[in-house]
Structure 1
Amino acid sequence: MTMICKEQPLVTLINIFTVAPEQQKALLDNLIKVTQEIMYKQPGFISANLHKSLDGTKVTNYAQWRSRADFEAMLQNPEVRQHIRQASQIAISAEPTLYEVSFIAQSD
């Protein structure tokens, strides 16, 4: 389950894909399939949340991993590397970046 908490020692991947509007659904379908079939089974995987922009030009993956080492190990998996190639063929560009939580504000 996704929990945004400053005290949790985890890393967050935010990957912003740019797509042609007619390709948004194809990329989203691909990311959902890969998350369910491959990512979910990777050591250190916590959660993934996929978002689509209302204008059809972006798909954003907000994923949490137990550690940077787990995330980097996942990138060495041949199945994952194949997925990255497939997503790259659909998207115009991707901007994967690792983050840590710095501040949280919530209403009551």
Structure 2
Amino acid sequence: MPDLGHPARLTIGKDAGLLRLDVVQVPQPHDQPPLVRRSIAATDRDLTEGLIKSGVVLRGHSKRDVATISAWAGEPVAAPDLYQVEIVDQLDKSVQSVIEGGSPEFHFVNVFLVADGKQKEAVEYFAHTIPYVRKQPGYVSNNVLMSTDGRHAVNVGQYESRQDFLAIFRQPDVLAAFGKARRIVCPLLGVLPRSPRLRLHDLIHVTDLPHPSLAEA
């Protein structure tokens, strides 16, 4: 990998291009370490071959999955693993979220199945709930992605710690917001046919290309 002169990073933003997301499950916890190694090798290879501009590998706390998020360098196509960024919500009000190598932040990835033709309503569901969670201690960012084939929505977020994230589910106002959004949006319109599996992750690897401004410095 090239000498970047800065921590490797993945940028998530509406103007940052498409993202590719892969979540691979394994049958047994002992299968996770070799999957992590393969995912790191594959991400670095995709960067070298010009398929992606940057990428991160996340290890599931359950020891049953590994998630890879990459900045796609190819042409936009309708695919189940390519995603357009729909919402970026940063505590510091930035228009982009950054996952940076060496960051101690805690990450989560939720994948939702979206009913046919209900992409707009799915985004509205997240837009309703994010203002409640962003007020909680430890909140860093929340990003909503929609697959280019319209079948899946993904919620990618960062908190200062795992404890901060889990604490939101003990807050009455947050739970009420989730419940209200589901009662109003989901059952009536069939937006999210079933609840996702909550996936909690540690950041394991980040790969990136040199930024032009830094490479020229």
1:18 aligns with 113
Q: How does 1:1-108 map to 2 (within 5 A)?
A: 1=90, 2-35=97-130, 37-85=131-179, 86-87=181-182, 89=187, 90-93=191-194, 94-108=196-210
- State how far apart, in whole Å, the 2-side matches of 1:21 and 1:11 are: 32
- Please tell me the residue identity of whatever aligns with 1:91: L
Report the secondary structure of 1:20's partner residue. coil
Report the secondary structure of 1:7's partner residue. coil
Larger Rg: 2
Instruction: Write out the 4+ residue segments of structure 1 that deviate beyond 4 Å after TM superposition.
Output: none
Cα deviations by residue, 1:43-93 (Å, 9 ceiling, x for unpaired): 111001110011111110110011011011111112222343334643123
- Please tell me the residue identity of whatever aligns with 2:175: R
Cα distance, 1:5 vs structure 2: 2.1
Cα deviations by residue, 1:17-36 (Å, 9 ceiling, x for unpaired): 1111222211211102221x
Indicate the larger mover: 87-96 or 72-81.
Answer: 87-96
Uncovered stretches (5+) of structure 1, i.e. residues with no partner: none
Uncovered stretches (5+) of structure 2, i.e. residues with no partner: 1-89, 91-96, 211-217
In structure 2, relative to structure 1, the CA distance for the partners of 1:6 and 1:100 (3 Å cut) is: farther
- State how far apart, in whole Å, the 2-side matches of 1:43 and 1:29 are: 24
Indicate the larger mover: 96-105 or 75-84.
Answer: 75-84
Report the secondary structure of 2:158's partner residue. strand
The structure whose residues are more often helix, as a share, is: 1
- State how far apart, in whole Å, the 2-side matches of 1:54 and 1:10 are: 28
Report the secondary structure of 2:98's partner residue. coil
- State how far apart, in whole Å, the 1-side matches of 2:112 and 2:173 are: 20
User: Normalization by structure 2: what TM-score?
Assistant: 0.46
Count of residues in correspondence between the two structures:
107
Report the secondary structure of 2:117's partner residue. helix
Would you say the 8 A contact 2:132–2:177 is kept in 1? Answer: no
The Cα RMSD (Å) is: 1.7
The structure whose residues are more often strand, as a share, is: 2
User: Normalization by structure 1: what TM-score?
Assistant: 0.86
In structure 2, relative to structure 1, the CA distance for the partners of 1:33 and 1:17 (3 Å cut) is: same
The higher relative CO (CA closer than 8 Å, separation ≥ 6) is in 1
